[in-house]
Structure 1
Amino acid sequence: MAPERAVLPAYAERASRLPGAVVWTRRAIGRTGGGEAGLVLPDGCMDLLWTEGRLLVAGPDTHAFRPGPGLLGPWAGVRLPPGAAPALLGVPAHELRDQRVELADLWPGAEVRRRTGRIDAAPDSAVALEDLALRLAADARPVDPLVRAVADALAAGRSVAATAESVGLGARQLHRRSLTAFGYGPKTLARILRLQRALALARSGVPLAETAARTGYADQAHLARDVRELAGIPLTSLLPR
């Protein structure tokens, strides 16, 4: 009798050796697959991506992204925390907003082809991609502590006004710094991070009305509208069945 073949999860992730980052893998998405297969929700992050023969960058999303025919994978990715990617890539985040961009459009083509070939040939593409991210981080300037403080404050649910005051910036300065670091203004980032907090609570089994109250929504209907606007689908479609 033939041995059973292990069934790998369609999506898996783990903490990266790069502080604050996450390494993830996803099997190829079926061309006729329905549902929410491959749907990527906005999370304030940017990703360094690999699929066979290609290196790409996922810019910060303002709405859910669903891969098209040319982006079906399989994939490996390193998800960089809010504000970290511009220092590694040398590109302001707002220039990549809502885009998936070939790394060769940002860096010299020969360099990208060499790096892509190494990952293609590696026994574990996710580990090889993570190694690339670590080398880039070692060569880059550290993330501005002010940028990290803004991201942490908004992720904790502090208001934009309180965040600006805590880092000593005026509203216009904070907005300008946020565009470069995060790809959009602090109000958009705060809204996206609130959505992620709400989904984490709801997926853990917290009732939706309580989830809305604990994450700063006016009520459950407000939470549902925000999910619909940012994700494009009903809140219940994003929760375990």
Structure 2
Amino acid sequence: MYRERPSTLGGGAVLWTRTAAPVAGPALVLPDGCMDLIWREGDGAAGFLVAGPDTRAQTGAERPGTAWTGLRFAPGTGPAVLGVPARELRDQRVPLDALWPGARVRRLTERVTEAADRGEALEELAALDGLAARSRTPEAPGRELHPAVARALAAGRSVADVAREAGLSERQLHRRSLDAFGYGPKTLARILRFQRALERARAGRPPAEVAAVTGYADQAHLARDVRALAGVPLGTLLRGPG
């Protein structure tokens, strides 16, 4: 079962929880331009993972009873909390102690394990330790532009228009986007368009209408893009869990 709510951290962050089904099966995680800090527990073990921004759907087997609690950071905001450029984590799942000192991660692990509410503990740790990460990470020029760039691309603006309004060349925007989002603005725009289309399709809108209002050339274009990013047809996504 999957649930989510807006995080108290603000900035578009989302707190989510997921518990594996009683019967083992594959899990499909769709690309969304985000990075996640995840607490996983099950099979007598627990620990932190960091999920980087994906360029394609990720699949893996879920063991029954495994539980996840995660903070999903809006596109462009995760690197400031985690203290690592997004491009270094693209399409990866890595233990937190691969990014932060082991002693620090062990202290955080103890605090989350002892907390009555895993989600609230995760938000508190991200707020406190994210500030510490930012204090150790040199300020990237124009970092304040990243949320605005993501919003403009999510709204369907062209990369050329976004770069011009940011006072950057397309090459400069691409270079900064690699650190902020994990990939260039064209890839981010494609992923965000896919997410907009999926949201409308899940709301019951017909595929032809979805394609027309989300910027695809036609329904066939939508179908090709969904299969390329998700690995399965749109109909399969609509029948199964997100």
TM-score computed with the length of structure 1 as normaliser: 0.89
> Do the aligned partners of residues 228 and 147 (structure 1) sit closer, same or farther apart at CA in structure 2, a change above 3 Å counting?
same
Determine helix, strand or coil for the equivalent of 1:39.
Answer: strand
Pick one of 77, 93, 105 that aligns with 1:100: 93
Please give the secondary structure, in 1, of the residue aligned with 2:60: coil
1:67 counterpart residue number: 60
Identify the residue that residue 127 of structure 2 maps to in structure 1. Answer: 134
Give the structure 2 partner of residue 184 of structure 1. 183
Q: What do residues 76-134 of structure 1 show as CA deviations (whole Å, max 9, x unaligned)?
A: 00000001111111111000000001010011101101101111121111111111112
User: Which of 8, 24, 48 is 2:16 aligned to?
Assistant: 24
CA distance in structure 1 between the partners assigned to 2:164 and 2:93 by the alignment: 34
More strand by share: 2
Q: Distance in 1 between matches of 2:147 and 2:4?
A: 23
Q: 1:72 to 1:165 in 2, by over 3 A?
A: farther
**Matches of 1:33 and 1:100, distance apart in 2:** 19
Structure 1 residue 240: Cα displacement: 4.7
Contact 2:15 2:72 in 1 (8 A): yes
Give the aligned residue type for 2:177. Answer: S
Structure 2 matches for 1:1-241, cutoff 5 A? 10-19=1-10, 20-29=12-21, 32-33=24-25, 38-52=27-41, 53-68=46-61, 73-139=66-132, 140=134, 144-240=143-239
How far off its partner does 1:28 sit? 2.5
The separation in 1 between residues aligned to 2:111 and 2:238, in whole angstroms, is 38
Q: How many residues align?
A: 229
AA paired with 1:172?
A: R
Q: Distance in 2 between matches of 1:156 and 1:177?
A: 20
Tell me if the contact between 1:203 and 1:240 (Cα under 8 Å) persists in the aligned partners: no
Q: CA offsets, 1:154-209, max 9 Å, x none?
A: 01110111111111110110010000000000000000000000011111111110
CA gap of 1:186–1:62, structure 2 versus 1, over 3 A, is: same
Name structure 1 gaps, 5 residues minimum.
Answer: 1-9
Verify the 8 A CA contact 2:216 2:222 in the aligned structure 1: yes
CA distance in 1, matches of 2:22, 2:219: 34
**What is the CA-CA distance between 1:67 and the residue it aligns to?**
2.7
Q: Are 2:25 and 2:62, in contact at CA under 8 Å, matched by a contact in 1?
A: no
SS at match of 2:3: strand
TM-score by length of 2: 0.89
Whether the 8 Å contact between 1:48 and 1:55 is mirrored in structure 2 is yes
Q: For residue 74 of structure 1, what is the amino acid of its counterpart?
A: A
Mapped to 2, the partners of 1:205 and 1:151 lie a distance apart of 26
Instruction: Name the amino acid aligned to 1:17.
Output: T
SS in 1 for 2:49: strand
Cα distance in 2, alignment partners of residues 57 and 22 from structure 1: 15
Alpha-carbon distance change, 71 to 63 in structure 1, aligned in 2, over 3 angstroms: farther
Match of 1:5 in 2: none
Tell me, which stretches of 5 or more residues in structure 2 are unaligned? none
